[in-house]
Amino acid sequence: MQKKITIKIGLGLLILTTFLVSGCGSTATATVAEGKSMVVKNEGHSSPSAGGVGDTIRVLWTVSGYKMGNNPLWEEKDARAMLFKPLDITATTITFDGKTCRDVTFQKETLKTKEYLASAFHTTPQILGITEEVVEVVKTNCSLPGFDQYLRLKDRRLVIYLNGVFFYFEPNVNY
């Protein structure tokens, strides 16, 4: 029992130290007791009147896999090069592959998976390995390729369609 308390206190001190040492606008990764990584992103301080949210700890995603669609514009090597690229989504921004969309609005809609994939992408849930009957479709005003609409699965993964390839994003932090 005392060992667990010591670990939790040490973890708390590690996170606090990470905030203090890393400074504004930086990202740090700390390994927690369960062996998982936690990403801490310090966005700096802002006042509520300025419309900011202050310091946040949020999930960052990385490309964890892909499936080639019908007649993709990219070759397999292009899709493979996207693996492990980070994705950052806030309440008003999407940042991916070195580009950021600002003032993003998000509209969520729950649709039948089979019908949606057939009409939007001419594919099936089986081809994409999706077993859910319904899926959350997030539509945005973002001009980044693949982010005008994307899927959010129940297991928290995201799926985007880019140049004829479906990319799967896993959250870096599971809690």
Q: pLDDT tens-digit profile of 107-165? A: 999 999 999 999 999 999 999 999 999 999 999 999 999 999 999 999 999 999 999 99
Contacts 24+ apart (CB under 8 A), 152-160: 152/108, 156/59, 157/64, 158/61, 158/87, 159/128, 159/130
Contact status, residue 62 vs residue 87, Cβ threshold 8 Å: yes
Over residues 93-116, the pLDDT tens digits come to: 999 998 999 999 999 999 999 999
pTM: 0.66
Q: What is the rounded distance in angstroms from the CA atom of residue 151 to the CA atom of residue 138? A: 6
